[in-house]
Chains A and B, each alone.
Chain A
Amino acid sequence: MTGESEYRIRVKGLRKRFKRLEVLRGVDLGVERGEVVVVMGPSGSGKTTLLRCINFLEEPDEGQVTVCGIDVPCGPGARRREQMRRIREIRMRVGMVFQQFNLFPHMTALENVIEGPLSVRRMSRSDAIALGERLLTRVGLSDKRDEYPSRLSGGQKQRVAIARALAMEPEVVLFDEPTSALDPELHEEVLQTMRALARDGMTMIVVTHEVRFAQDVADRVLFMDDGAIVEQASAAEFFARPQHPRARAFLRLVEHNQPSDPFAQPEVPAPS
């Protein structure tokens, strides 16, 4: 397990196609322990698919994905059973936060959080509850522990989802557009939670359009276009001097559409 152990995630030559459409055309990526990587790019550029290949919600067609030193043998001759075992091992170490939260609607906030510890980590119920309460407190929702998801706001749901991912005590957390389904005024509570997580040294890959968040916490920004990483730079570098024409065009667009920034003064009074 040494050698490439500084990489929590190592992706080499990753290719994925859906039917005739090639979504990832040879992606290489290394993410080190404690690094926060923000992935940006227009929709359809393959950001989400890249994320989903890392925990094998999508199976790569070609290439190698190594997570926390675990790789999944593929190609002919690979035994399905062994593959599944490795995939599960990876998933136990990689948390995922979805755009649509995907909370379990028939379980309370606490039950959502402790499902992994109970079902997968085989924790005792009392330990799991203690852990779950600690995590709900960490995301600021200790008073919602017995609420069902239908009674929570979008921002609260997403924070429960973050707590659920953390309950597996993962080494990496993947965020797939975690604020895109939220009303603008709810973005900040989720981003704050993510900032705190980054400060605590969590390794994170975040697919997002939140420029300010990227500027604040990203160690590195990847820009994807048409199934490939076309630009890769430190956050400061990327936002100050984007190189790729598509990245420039994209940033102009996104910056104009940033959700209500409480500090920004409108340059022009909005017409109508």
Chain B
Amino acid sequence: MDLISRALPLLIRGLGITVALGVVSFAIGSVLGFLIALARLSGARPVRFAAVTYVSVFRGTPLLVQILLIYFGLPQIGIRLEPIPSAILALSLHAGAYLSENFRSGFLAVDKGQWEAAFSIGMAYRRVLQRIILPQAIRVVLPPVGSRFISLMKDTSLASVVTVVELTRVAEQVGSATFRYMEMFVIVALIYWVVNTILQIGQEVLERRLGRAY
């Protein structure tokens, strides 16, 4: 009990950092993934090539390596980022690559007749996307994107290796100071689990609402 009361302020701070890392990276990653998906579907050839390469690289290498590269590698070429921005950059790029695949399959799931019908009444590309394609694609995309968000929440623990004091790092620090590793990691695991359970419930509510029959 004593341990918990001493660790509690640190845990709360850590949780704040973890959630912030997850939410911010997810937001940036979503925008990135959305643009990449569009580029792959309708961009010019060099744009498509760049998009495919990006996705391939960030899906094909470990997130840990990406984080280390950004934090320890980039300073060598004169780009020096603080730990938290480094972690956010790596997590966003990583999530963006995966999310672009989800978005892409969502767009592709919408029948191309929908584009044609919308174009045939004179709608402009952006309008078609916004009014016709996205509302249909989102139903397809929500489950995999929700899972991606949850994975991302867990991936934030890797930020601990570049000295970001998020939940996992708090557990390590308190653990090494008190030799109560067992308790600390169990507590932290429980916190992750609760956060992700909340996310999962949120996703289910959203799915039910968007999935209403039409």
Contacts and interface: CB of A to CB of B under 8 A. Distances in A.
Interface string B53-79: 000000000000000000000000000
Interface in B121-136: 121-124, 127, 131-132, 135-136
A119 B213 contact: no
Contact of B120 (A55, A106, A149): A55
B132 to A, nearest CB: 6
Contacts of A92: 121-122
Contact of A57 (B120, B124, B127, B131): B120
Contacts of A98: 113, 116-117, 120
Q: In which size bucket is the chain A interface?
A: 20 to 34
A116 B122 contact: yes
Contact of B124 (A88, A96, A115): A88
Given A120-B121, A120-B123, A150-B213, A115 B131 contact: yes
B49 interface: no
Contact of B117 (A88, A94, A102, A150): A102
A104 interface: yes
A136 to B, nearest CB: 16
B123 A148 contact: no
Nearest to B130: A119
A14 B123 CA distance: 25
A214 interface: no
B132 A91 contact: no
A120 B118 CA distance: 10
B122 A57 contact: no
B114 interface: yes
B119 interface: yes
Nearest to A117: B121
Nearest to B214: A148
Interface string B95-123: 00000000000000001011011111111
Interface centre among B111, B127, B135, B214 (most CB of A within 10 A): B214
A105 B132 CA distance: 9
B136 A106 contact: yes
Interface string B184-201: 000000000000000000
Interface string A90-113: 011011101010111111000000
Contacts of B114: 102, 104
8 contacts: A57-B120, A91-B122, A95-B120, A100-B113, A102-B114, A102-B116, A104-B118, A115-B131
Interface of B: 111, 113-114, 116-124, 127, 131-132, 135-136, 213-214
Interface of A: 55, 57, 88-89, 91-92, 94-96, 98, 100, 102-107, 115-116, 119-120, 148-150, 161, 164-165, 167-168
